[in-house]
Amino acid sequence: MLNPFIPTKMKQKVIDRFIRYIRVETTSDPKSGLHPSTPSQLDFSRKLAEELKQIGLSNVTVDDNAYVMATLPSNIEKTVPVVGFVAHVDTSPDFSGKNVNPLFVENYNGEKIVLNKELEIELDPKLFPELLNYKGQTLITTDGTTLLSADDKAGLAEIVTAMEYLIANPEIPHGEVKVGFTPDEEIGEGANYFDVEKFGAQFAYTMDGGEIGELEFENFNAAGAKIKINGRIVHPGFAKNKMKNSLLIAQQLLNMLPANEVPQHTDGFEGFYHLMEMNGKVEECNMEFIIRDHNRAIFEHRKEIIQGIVTQLNIQYGEGTVELDLKDQYYNMLEKIEPVKYIVDIAEQAMIDCGISPKIKAIRGGTDGARLSYMGLPCPNIFAGGHNFHGKYEFVPVESMQKAVEVILKIIERVQNVK
């Protein structure tokens, strides 16, 4: 039976490891067409592989696509399920992850936190009331100019620290454990070249959730829609019955979508259409949407609505005016998790054992685990501890990272009881 509370020196190790990781820029790029999408991810993955070798893991590999895999061999005689833990090395392209300069706020007092006095950037509990849940704890924040990279370098640090703890304490019994690190999760390509058979786990957990206690095994069904609108430019003084303004057609398209079914007006199990990017001139306009819904039937209906709008506009303005490239990205993992629901129960009880109140909820997004579940590796998602991902207001409580390490260790212990 392992000690449910890791020693202070291990707490410091997860902090030091996290700080070391976030200082390495690994932003992914959705437009590069490469895999990994940026060379910095491969460099970082190679460094992680060397670190896994140094702490004593076996069968450590890193391929040219930046996937890292390693094994902690079993030290018990009986056969138990092989469990895996997965995190991603990239950070979001939504905000700069270069030159991250973390700030430490010790014994947080519940007041505003000045991230950058010169730029007048503050973490205010009036805007971010979740801050008040961490009074008295140590917070790691940004300096107001970059994201923090807790998504998902907190997960990386927690997994490596947990493995190091078990290797340093060989008297703790455990079955075989697999570790996997992926690139490009933030641009939806994290599972593209993941070799499930090589990984060799029967099930796994992504350490890629938010606040302490999060346990997720439902997520959005997701699609991406790229729309090109072909206009016609003529001199505006002689444009009557000739000009076809692609920008105005784009505006018309937006007005044909349900106005309140956008991210800023939805939560819980409510889906949405999200305009990610729009640029153009009279002659050509390009739009990029993401389409999300937890319910598969409603998800399919949302795609039909987009297709129907495109059809209507082409009838109105002429065939070929609006071109649609609509592709599914991932699906709700619930369908694949329900038959093996016991793996969720293991994680839930592990949190309870560690003094954490589980917060079971649906992900308003996706993880590598969603796609991996459909590839034959059931993979619920567990908290890594961070808040306000993908921006300058991101922070992570040190105590949450410590608890995540404890949960990993407790899951490994509980897997030994699976029959």
Instruction: Report how far residue 412's alpha carbon sits from residue 395's, in angstroms, rounded to the nearest whole number.
Output: 28
| Token code pair at residue 275 | 């305009």
Given a contact cutoff of 8 angstroms between Cβ atoms, the answer to whether 382 and 210 are in contact is no
Give me the residue label for tokens 């259409």. Answer: 273
Instruction: Report how far residue 14's alpha carbon sits from residue 158's, in angstroms, rounded to the nearest whole number.
Output: 6
**CA of residue 61 relative to chain centroid, distance:** 23
Residues marked active site are found at: 90, 185
Long-range residue pairs from 94-98, CB within 8 A, at least 24 positions apart, any chain: 94/147, 94/390, 94/391, 95/146, 95/147, 95/390, 95/391, 95/392, 96/27, 96/145, 96/146, 96/147, 97/25, 97/26, 97/27, 97/146, 97/147, 97/149, 98/25, 98/27, 98/146
380: left (phi over 0), alpha (psi -120 to 50) or beta: beta
DSSP string, 332-357: -THHHHGGGTHHHHHHHHHHHHTT--
